[in-house]
Amino acid sequence: MGVLEFREVRPGAFVGRWSIEPSIGASRVDLRMPPHCFLRLPEMNCGEKGLVGPITISNLGSNMSVVLIKVIPIEGEPRSYTISTANPVVSVLGTGAPTLEAWVELAKTYVNYGIDHILLGADHLLFVLGLIWIVGGGWRLVKTITAFTIGHSASLAAAAFGLIGVPERPLNACIALSIAFIGVEIVKQQRGETGLTARYPWIVAFTFGLVHGIGFAGALAGLGLERRLLPAALLFFNVGVEIGQLAFVLLVLALIWAHRRLDAVVPRWGEAVPAYLIGSVSMFWFFGRLARVFAAI
Amino acid sequence: MKLKPVRVLMAVAILLTGTSAADAHVVAARLGDFYMGASHPLTDLQDVVLWIATGVLAGTLGASKGRWLIPVFPIGLLVGLSLAPVFGTVSTQLADATMMLAIGMLLAAAAQVPTLVLCAIAFAVAVIRGAANGAELGPETDRLLFAAGLACVGYGVVTLTMALTVVFKRTSDSVTSWRAIAVRALGGWIGAIGLMMASLVLAS
């Protein structure tokens, strides 16, 4: 990640500097400012129009995925814009009311960011897979996934607005532990016992949804979003997370349906394997994350 | 304008022979090498046509024969991927065309292929396509993550295609039912594409 600050020194004229230099080196970032702006760092001149229009970084990749552009005007509050690999173009809104085009840009950026976040979050997906495994299909699954969604949306919003704050490292260890809990519940179900998740799946999904939601908020933290954009960014990010989660649930359900159609079910001796696999992976993550908690103390 | 079937087939064959390295690197930059492995074959027409043809063939033979492909196909992809450095950049177009022609003819003839032969065909397709996908990898790609993505998407595509085919063409259907004829017609098209593709490869 890199952070580039532009401080307005007189109307339309800015001084820019990298407050956090990107890992690939500042000189290698292919930064393009709006066409009417003349940029030669540390100077940038946008004339009478001011800094309004598209900012692009076309060479983001696996070495550097996010750049934060901070604009500090002479008058008014500082503003921040996030350029990511998912959306390498952002529109600078200016100090006036945001236009429709600006809202569309914001939606594209944060919906994509939400989709990326859930698709790369193997721990969240494993938890959802465990829930599907226990609950099966039908309305019970709809209720369970809805409860998980409500849970993580509520805590994501609370964390993003600063109402709650949990240190990231212990939280990540708790998320790993929540998956281990689901693994244990699957084993219980296979032994014919009725576990808590089998009895009250939506309560378990909602409770752990709260934990996972704070984890999602970690993705938004540190991007330095300006206050007026936070509600919209949060909404779009959450929409992206839901799109990714729904796609994953539908894919899993389609594969379960296909296996039933083909009579390709796990043999009796291998029924416990997925639960132990989920449990083992989650405990591996838990101990790894716990080690990071103690290393930070 | 009326689309003539032969023109459509020619266009598909030309598209297939003209395909080069599938451009999934945008996905790699965005979501990493696992998703690159999962999306890479879906951006290549040769993979799409051959994988679906294999799934349809297995599905028409019924669930009891087809389900063996659930482990066989991803394993074949992994074997092909591991053999990619041996093959290097050797073009697989003729092998792809031959497999397309063979699978298309089996579908068109509604041949009752034994399970072992079906598994051998699917394994051959998977090895060829796994090698083709692996040949395009750069040194910066994490091969383990790419292989996991490729195996997952191979498993998903073949399993879903087989199940959909089993639902569409029930084993109780007679050979003269419209569903059976539709599958045979699809086989004829796949075979024709394979034949044209082979001709174009040999002529070039």
Q: Where are the domains of chain A?
A: 2-96, 115-296
Per residue in B30-56, pLDDT (tens digit) is 567 888 889 888 888 889 999 999 999
Instruction: Tell me the CA end-to-end span of chain B in Å, nearest whole number.
Output: 30
Token pair for A170: 């212990």
Task: Judge contact between A70 and A78, C-beta under 8 A.
Answer: yes
Distances B79 to B86, B113, B147 between C-alpha atoms, Å: 12, 24, 10
Find, in chain A, the residue whose alpha carbon is nearest to that of B160: A258
Task: Give the model confidence (pLDDT) of B96-125 as tens digits.
Answer: 999 999 999 999 999 999 999 999 999 999
Give the residue from chain A lying closest to B60, CA to CA. A262
Q: Which of A60, A62, A254 has the CB atom closest to B160's CB atom?
A: A254
Per-residue pLDDT tens digits for A208-235: 999 888 887 766 665 555 666 778 888 8
Q: Which has the closest alpha carbon to B129: B61, B55, B26, B66?
A: B55
| Residue of A67, A113, A262, A265 for testing the chain B interface, max B β-carbons within 10 Å | A262
Predicted confidence at residue A86, as pLDDT, reads 64
Contact A154, A211 (CB under 8 A): no
Q: Across the interface, which of B28, B31, B162 has its CB nearest the CB of A262?
A: B162
- Which DSSP string do the residues of chain A spell out, in sequence order? -EEEEEEEEETTEEEEEEEE--TT-GGG--EE--TT-EEETTEEE-TTT-S-EEEEETT-BTTB-EEEEEEE-SSS--EEEEEESS--EEEE--SSPPPHHHHHHHHHHHHHHHHHHHHH-HHHHHHHHHHHHHH-SHHHHHHHHHHHHHHHHHHHHHHHTTS----HHHHHHHHHHHHHHHHHHHHHHHTT---HHHHSHHHHHHHHHHHHHHHHHHHHTTS---GGGHHHHHHHHHHHHHHHHHHHHHHHHHHHHHHHHTT----GGGTTHHHHHHHHHHHHHHHHHHHHHHHH-
Mean pLDDT, range B11-37, rounded to an integer: 62
Contact between chains at B29 and A61 (C-beta distance less than 8 A): yes
Tell me which chain B residues have a C-beta less than 8 angstroms from the C-beta of A258.
159-160, 162-164
Residues of A in contact with B55 (CB under 8 A): none
Q: Tell me which residue of A134, A132, A156, A289 sits closest to A219, measured CA to CA.
A: A156
Would you state the pLDDT for residue B18?
57
Whether pLDDT at B85 is above 90: no
Percent of chain B with pLDDT over 90: 52
Interface of A with B (CB under 8 A): 60-62, 85-86, 116, 119-120, 251, 254-255, 257-259, 261-264
Task: Please give the pLDDT value at position A237.
Answer: 86
Cβ contact, residue pair B67, A62, below 8 Å: no
- In chain B, which residues have their Cβ closer than 8 Å to the Cβ of A264? 63, 67, 70, 159
Structure confidence at residue B171 (pLDDT): 65
Confidence at residue B23, expressed as pLDDT on a 0 to 100 scale: 45
CA A40 to CA A12: how far, in whole Å? 14
Across the interface, whether the CB atoms of B32 and A257 are under 8 A apart is answered no
Q: What residue of B is the nearest CA neighbor of A86?
A: B30
- pLDDT for res A62: 58
Determine which of B5-14, B114-123, B137-146 has the lowest per-residue pLDDT on average.
B5-14
Confidence of residue B24 (pLDDT cuts 50, 70, 90): very low
ipTM associated with this complex: 0.83
Handedness of CA B94, B130, B123, A264 (dihedral sign): negative
d(CA B180, CA B107): 10
Residue of B25, B26, B27, B30 to mutate, testing the A interface (most A Cβ within 10 Å of its Cβ): B30
Q: Per-residue pLDDT tens for A268-283?
A: 777 788 889 999 999 9
Number of inter-chain CB pairs under 8 A, A vs B? 47
Q: Of B35, B44, B56, B24, give the one whose Cα is nearest residue B161.
A: B56
What does the pLDDT read at residue B26?
47
Low-confidence stretches of chain A (pLDDT beneath 50): none
Contact B70 A262 (CB under 8 A): yes
Question: Looking at the partner chain, which of B31, B64, B159 has a beta carbon nearest the beta carbon of A258?
Answer: B159
